[in-house]
């Protein structure tokens, strides 16, 4: 471990003590996210300053913090989430035009400009490990050019331990009932995958093929990929973050329906699930279609095994304590020999399973808060469960997707979509078998 990283981890280690003292002053409340008065806002401001001072210039880590934070914005009071978002924005500095052109020249060749009719040096948006530029391909097509930061690989691998440590601490601060280390480690593993633009191009092409005939989705075509550069068709539409902030209920419900459909339909159609479904990766078109972006961190499903959502539905549709215990054992969430109280397990999954048991469900902040609170109150029961090794990534993607539905405050026929696609998946497996 480099000396710089070790030093910054030492600084990070001091944060919980400082927070503890501040929380005592603020009244000793258990959950930092529940503090909303003026003194607690100052507490959050000082904590955020210390947290992001330690993070320094970690572009990839900072972006992932932002994505985690976006999911919890429905749980944290708006003034508090705004504190962290504002500090986070200071870390997300764009690469210079010289940096971008260096990567383009190294990976596309000295004559890279001949590939484009025009190229905008100003970034149109940021990615976790790079940024996107608007350009026009040599055949006249508008394109999005994703360019990796020159030092992304060295930065990510060198500061992996620090970023995991920071994410784990941050998760314990706002959602102590979650396994912060597993979440942070999975996030960093997915971030490492995003370094491979060739793999991303392959996943994007497969996703586009799987949804090509669906009139409700727009998956941009890969135009060119080489090294740290990925060129795709440019797609317009309203960013989902804007729908969350000021969209009509009709737009919210439409986006929520298609996000739900994407979650359930992706594995039957492509063998993959979008592994990073935060609001920045989606666009809602005026005609109601949903544009999908960023295929760097995908959950790849093992053929012939139950999909993560199939497992989720089986667990939450169990009607009796005995049935729930049996399902959990069959799906390897309960190890052999581990004793379990079916009634307590039913209580654990009561709030999280509401969408599966309701014909039409309205996602919102209270649902997410009740789900997290239920996990906290049943922590001893939750600890008896063991997530299968391949389920952690899928669980995070599912959690982020449901978090976005809560941000949208969308009313969705969740149960109908789930049963439709799980039925089609089962029939497809039967035919292929």
How far apart, in Å, are the Cα atoms of 430 and each of 310, 424, 433? 15, 10, 5
State the pLDDT at residue 2: 47
- pLDDT in the model for residue 45: 74
Q: What is the mean pLDDT of the chain?
A: 79
Q: What pLDDT sits at residue 432?
A: 47
pLDDT tens-digit series, residues 150-182: 877 766 666 667 667 766 666 665 555 556 666
Exposure string over 64-99, b if 16+ CB within 10 A, otherwise e = bbbbbbbbbbbbbbeebbebbbebbeebeeebeeee
Structure tokens at 138: 């040599």
For 422, half-sphere exposure in the C-beta direction (CA atoms, 13 angstrom radius) is 18
186-206 pLDDT, tens digit each? 667 767 777 899 999 999 999
Q: How far apart are CA 111 and CA 204, in angstroms?
A: 26
Is the model's pLDDT at 286 over the cut of 70? Answer: yes
Q: What distance in Å separates the CA atoms of residue 176 and residue 394, rounded to the nearest whole number?
A: 20
Q: Annotate 175-210 with b (16+ C-beta within 10 A) or e (fewer).
A: bebbbbebbbbbbbebbbbbbebebbbebbebbbeb
What three-state secondary structure class fits 137? Answer: strand
The tokens of 392 are what? Answer: 């952690």
What's the pTM value of the predicted model, to 2 decimals? 0.79
How do residues 79-134 score in pLDDT, each as one tens digit? 666 666 666 656 555 667 888 999 999 999 999 999 999 999 999 987 767 889 99
The pLDDT, as a whole number, for residue 23 is 38
Between 423 and 270, whose confidence is greater?
270
**CB within 8 Å of 401: residues ≥ 6 apart:** 259, 263, 274, 277
Residue with the bigger pLDDT between 423 and 340: it is 340
Question: Residues with Cβ < 8 Å from 119, sequence gap 6 or more?
Answer: 113, 133, 135, 136, 145
Phi, psi of 93 (to 5 degrees): -85, 140
Nearest partner of 277 among 302, 260, 257, judged by Cα: 260
| Beta carbons of 303 and 429 less than 8 angstroms apart | no
Helix ranges (DSSP H) in 271-413: 308-316, 321-330, 342-348, 365-377, 379-382, 391-408
Of 25-39, 148-162, 212-226, the one with minimum mean pLDDT is 25-39
pLDDT (0 to 100) of residue 173: 58
What percent of the chain has a predicted confidence (pLDDT) above 90? 42
- Identify the pLDDT of residue 126: 75
**How far is it, in rounded angstroms, from Cα 51 to Cα 62?**
11
Give 3's pLDDT tier (boundaries 50, 70, 90).
Answer: very low
């Amino acid at each position: 471990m480099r000396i710089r990283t070790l030093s910054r981890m030492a600084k990070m280690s001091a944060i919980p003590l400082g927070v503890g003292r501040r929380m005592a002053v603020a009244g000793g409340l258990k959950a930092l996210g529940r503090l909303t008065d003026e003194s607690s806002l100052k507490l959050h401001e000082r904590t955020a300053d210390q947290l992001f001072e330690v993070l320094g210039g970690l572009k990839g880590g900072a972006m992932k913090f932002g994505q985690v934070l976006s999911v919890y914005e429905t749980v944290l009071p708006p003034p508090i989430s705004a504190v962290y978002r504002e500090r986070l924005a200071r870390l997300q500095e764009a690469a210079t035009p010289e940096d971008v052109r260096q990567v383009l020249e190294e990976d596309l060749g000295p004559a890279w400009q001949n590939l484009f009719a025009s190229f905008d040096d100003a970034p149109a948006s940021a990615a976790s490990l790079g940024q996107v530029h608007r350009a026009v391909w040599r055949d006249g097509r508008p394109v999005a050019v994703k360019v990796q930061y020159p030092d992304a690989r060295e930065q990510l691998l060198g500061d992996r331990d620090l970023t995991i440590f920071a994410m784990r601490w941050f998760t314990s601060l706002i959602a102590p009932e979650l396994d912060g280390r597993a979440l942070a480690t999975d996030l960093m593993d997915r971030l490492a995958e995003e370094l491979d633009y060739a793999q991303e191009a392959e996943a994007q092409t497969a996703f586009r093929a799987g949804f090509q005939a669906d009139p409700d989705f727009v998956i941009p075509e890969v135009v060119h990929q080489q090294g740290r550069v990925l060129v795709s068709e440019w797609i317009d539409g309203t960013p989902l973050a804007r729908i969350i902030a000021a969209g009509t209920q009709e737009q919210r419900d439409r986006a929520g329906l298609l996000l739900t459909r994407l979650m359930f339909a992706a594995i039957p159609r492509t063998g993959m699930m979008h592994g990073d479904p935060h609001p920045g990766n989606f666009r809602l078109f005026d005609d109601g279609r949903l544009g999908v972006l960023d295929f760097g961190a995908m959950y790849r499903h093992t053929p012939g095994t139950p999909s993560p959502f199939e497992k989720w539905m089986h667990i939450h549709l169990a009607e009796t304590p005995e049935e729930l215990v049996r399902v959990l054992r069959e799906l390897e969430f309960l190890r052999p020999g581990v004793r379990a109280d079916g009634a307590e397990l039913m209580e654990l999954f009561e709030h999280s399973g509401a969408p599966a048991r309701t014909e039409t469900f309205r996602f919102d902040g209270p649902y997410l808060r009740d789900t997290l609170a239920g996990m906290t109150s049943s922590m001893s029961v939750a600890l008896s469960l063991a997530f299968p090794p391949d389920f952690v990534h899928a669980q995070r993607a599912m959690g982020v997707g449901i978090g976005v539905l809560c941000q949208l405050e969308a009313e969705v026929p969740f149960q109908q979509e789930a049963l439709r696609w799980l039925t089609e998946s089962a029939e497809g497996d039967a035919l292929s078998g």
